[in-house]
Chains A and B, each alone.
Chain A
Amino acid sequence: MLAISLQPEEFDLALGVQRWLIVFGTVLLVSLLVSLMASLATYGGTGPARLFGRLGYAACDFMSLSPRRIFAVALLTFREAVRRKALLVFVVFAVLFMFASWFLTGNSERPEQDIEVYVGFVFTTISWLVLLVGGVLSCFGLPEDIRLRSLHTVVTKPVRRNEIVLGRMLGFGSVCTLILVLMGIVGQIWIVRQSQGLTLSCRVPIYGVLKFLDRTGAETSKGLNVGDIVETRGFIEGGTKGAAVFQFRLPKSQPELLRFESRFEAFRTHKGSMDRTIQARYVLSNEEKGLRVPLEKFNVAEFSQNERDVERKISYTNEKTLKKEEVDLYNDLAQDGWLTVHVQCLDRGQYLGASRGDFFVRELPDRSFSAGYWKAMVGVWLMVVLLVMIAVTASCFVKGPVACLLCFCVFVLGQPAHDFMDKLVTGKQVGGGATESLYRLVSQANQTTPLDNQMMERTLKTIDRLPSGSLWIAKHLIPDMRTFSMAAWVGKGLDVPWYSAMLPSLAVALGYILPCVLLGYFSLSLRELESK
């Protein structure tokens, strides 16, 4: 279903920056303390002076970065990759695309799903191929340079180690960008050709803020749970005052026509009417002015979109006076630019499930398919750039195969395992942390029920909480690779939202630049390139 995979969450940039500062600061502080102790152990009393001297020297190195030298290393890296036939990856790409249509069969009943499949295929293929090429090139670039001693002819010139690290990142990043752009163009042409007869568009959703009203009309933090394990949606009871209340910030351009688009989930406690689905309605309200404008009820289409056009001037029957009245969407209903929409289920004994992603105001006209497609491609690009940064950093202190393994681990931990780490840190993991899980495993206790011995459970939970600080740091050290996946938006024909998709991915990628460059610089500077 559409909504489960696309739950837009607004990215809090200030909170992100705050967390970045905490994690980066902590790691920096710990590194400094360890270095201080190591310098004392190695050089005795003169150790700290040497250490701070080295740090001062490092600061000078960063102050005197030369764009020309960085560009020289980047150009060298680009030439190296091209002349070592990195672009042969296009052969694999071409073969995959030549035969892909044999296996990607269409669905004549629901053609919009075909586009989803095509977009998914293009993005998966491109991501994996570029990640593979970028990862391998970046992991082996510097270690090969050191092994063949070509780097000796570079470091004996007035080149700072940070210039080498930055140049390498830039060079490999450029190669990957070139490959990605070319593949992206081919991929788009392929999707357009495959989707002949279908409309490719990019709808621009405005998502709202969601809250719930219970059956008495009182505000609650979440809707009812009808037994789903995943509590993505909250349900409202039909035929009561229960409602899902969405608040949308309306576009400042104040268009004459807005389109409400929703895809709610129904939960039935009885068969209901056989000739129609569950009924619902939108009620636009302005509490300050005491306005309640109900729109026409509609049958909830459970497996496709419910679309409802709303004009600027709305005629309705006032529930109190029973008179026909007309209101203006922006001047009468909107409150400080925010529009409140109540979604109510009209069938008694039936339930309607709603989540934030299930209902949005669609800004018209739609954008071109290319706009969303290339925004999602930027997401892939940011992921590749991040992987290149990590790979180059790793290659500064380990050999190529080890750097590859390290990148692979980061990538795996950054995908499905990130969710697991999240749950461990927040204590939401079913079955508890490592100690509690082990105890449950040995004692054959159910993972989902509380332990019989409550004292034991409390003790185990306390033990599991001890490393939560370091786990919190680890969770934030490993990038959340899921942030970069934006293909689902394009597949659903939606524009990629800036605040909940583009901005977090950009922030994650940017957040790794400084730590990677610093780590790479110190690893390469403190390393004897000729060590036997």
Chain B
Amino acid sequence: MSAEAVIQIRNLSKIYRDFWGRKKVRALNSLSLEVYRGEVFGLLGPNGSGKTTTMKLLLGLLFPTEGEISILGKSATDVSKNERIGYLPEESYLYRFLNANETLDFYGRLFNMSGETRRKRTEELIEMVGLQHARRRQLKEYSKGMTRRIGLAQALINDPDLVLLDEPTSGLDPQGSRDMKDLIMRLKSQGKTVIMSSHLLADVQDVCDRIAILYGGELKELGRVDELLKERNVSQMQTSSISDACLDEVKAVLAKHNVEFHKVDHPTNSLEELFLKTVERSQQRPGQRYVPESEAAKGGTAS
């Protein structure tokens, strides 16, 4: 990973005030962090921890009370930085009276793209997010998942260097979620920098290189995911299935070296993996359905 920082945040604080200028809430307190080129960076935290505020400060939708932000070498309020940024908002904030083609054409125009470039890019993105069948339907007729996908397409219309994704997998089914994560990894492989905020910790763990955990507007943890999750005082080894006798011998060896034995069991798949396997199987063998064991014993078969 290159050490070039695309985002530098120094002592960033944000206080929301009421109409009379009185302090309402301190959403962010002295946040300092850096995000490097080519990494996938995760912002984690419970509701009200300040991650969305951080995102909006980065985008210039909010102004900092204190501190400084440098994004791609420019100030957060400098509009020209947006030339190289893509943003997927938390909810679908797109214009619901436009269809997919018009939506991408509109955002393409905002980047001063020529007509031909816009048409080409629209085709690529609509195909990428799998909305060919619904390209002429108004967005108000879209499901939540479809809306997220067209939202993602608009975020990538300018082939950005830095992509900010606010809750990218929210509202997506597991397949959509998988696709989104694959896309994030693809963006990373293209050398792009991705910043995402999410409540779904498994998603963050799957794709992020580094994370920052916020709580109460303050930075509580920052570092590489694998480093942060590593338990240094516990060891784990994986073998093929072992017999009871072998297990007893292993325990004896461990006791001889004064190592405390905790547990031994069989690893399980994640629910996501099970779900995706099931969906894949269903697509390969349509019509097959689940038959309870009791019925199968009576002679029932899966059809």
- Residues of A at under 8 Å CB distance from B? 61, 66, 68-69, 71-72, 75-76, 79-80, 83-84, 148-150, 152-160, 528-532
Residues of the B chain whose Cβ atoms lie less than 8 Å from the Cβ of A150: 93-95
CB pair A76 B62 closer than 8 Å: no
**Interface stretch (choices B102-110, B183-191, B197-205, B286-294):** B102-110
Closest B residue to A80 by CB, please name it.
Answer: B97
Interface locus among B78-86, B216-224, B233-241: B78-86
- Write 15 A-B pairs (CB below 8 A) sorted by A numbering: A66-B112, A69-B109, A72-B109, A76-B98, A79-B102, A149-B89, A153-B93, A154-B110, A156-B59, A159-B79, A528-B61, A531-B16, A531-B62, A532-B16, A532-B24
Contacts of B16 in A (CB 8 A): 531-532
How far is it, in angstroms, between the C-alpha of A80 and the C-alpha of B59 when the chains are bound? 26
Enumerate the 8 nearest inter-chain pairs by beta-carbon distance, A residue then B residue, closest first: A72-B109, A157-B110, A149-B93, A83-B97, A158-B82, A156-B87, A530-B61, A158-B83
- Complex: A160 Cα to B107 Cα, angstroms: 14
Q: Kindly report which residue of chain B lies nearest to residue A156, judged by CB atoms.
A: B87
Known: A158-B79, A158-B80, A158-B83. A152 touches B110 (CB 8 A): no
| B82 lies within 8 A of A152 (CB) | no
Q: Is the CB of B61 within 8 A of A529?
A: yes
Contacts of A157 on B, CB cut-off 8 Å?
82, 107, 110-111, 158
Q: Judge if B91 is at the interface, Cβ distance under 8 Å.
A: yes
Q: Are A61 and B63 in contact (CB under 8 A)?
A: no
Separation of A528 and B98 alpha carbons in the complex (Å) = 26
Name the residue of chain A whose CB is nearest to the CB of B61: A530
Q: Which residue of B lies closest to A71 (CB)?
A: B109
User: Are B112 and A156 touching (Cβ within 8 A)?
Assistant: no
B residues with CB within 8 A of A: 16, 24-25, 56, 59-63, 79-80, 82-83, 85, 87, 89, 91, 93-95, 97-98, 102, 106-107, 109-112, 138, 154, 158
Given the interface contacts A79-B98, A150-B94, does A69 sit within 8 Å of B79 by beta carbon?
A: no
A152–B97 CA distance with the chains assembled, in angstroms: 16
Give the distance to chain A from B25, nearest Cβ to Cβ, in Å. Answer: 8
For the complex, what is the distance from the CA of A83 to the CA of B97, rounded to whole Å? 7
Q: Is the CB of A72 within 8 A of B85?
A: no
Q: Which residue of A lies closest to B52 (CB)?
A: A530
Most buried by B among A79, A83, A150, A152: A152
- On whether the beta carbons of A68 and B112 are closer than 8 Å, the reply is yes
A152, B89: Cβ atoms closer than 8 Å: yes
Q: List chain B residues, Cβ under 8 A from A84.
A: 97
Would A152 and B61 count as touching, CB distance under 8 A?
yes
Best-buried of A61, A150, A158 by chain B (most CB within 10 Å): A158
Do the beta carbons of B97 and A149 come within 8 Å of each other?
Answer: no
- In the complex, chain B residues whose CB is within 8 Å of the CB of A68: 109, 112
- Inside 8 A of B111's CB, which chain A residues have their CB? 157-158
A156 partner, pick from B24, B25, B61, B138, beta carbons under 8 A: B61
Q: Is the CB of B97 within 8 A of A79?
A: yes
User: Beyond the given A156-B60, A528-B62, could you list 16 further A-B residue pairs with CB under 8 A, ordered by the A residue number?
Assistant: A68-B112, A72-B106, A80-B95, A80-B97, A155-B61, A156-B85, A157-B107, A157-B158, A159-B79, A159-B110, A530-B56, A530-B61, A530-B62, A531-B16, A531-B62, A532-B16
Within 8 Å CB of B62, what residues of A?
A: 528, 530-531
Minimum distance in angstroms from B78 CB to a CB of chain A: 8
Cβ-closest chain B residue relative to A54 = B77
Residues of chain A with a CB closer than 8 A to B98's CB: 76, 79
Residues A528 and B63 in contact in the complex (CB < 8 Å), given A149-B91, A156-B85: yes
Q: How many angstroms from the CA of A61 to the CA of B77 in the assembled complex?
A: 12
Docked complex Cα distance between A76 and B98 (Å): 9
A153 touches B56 (CB 8 A): no
Cβ-closest chain B residue relative to A153: B93
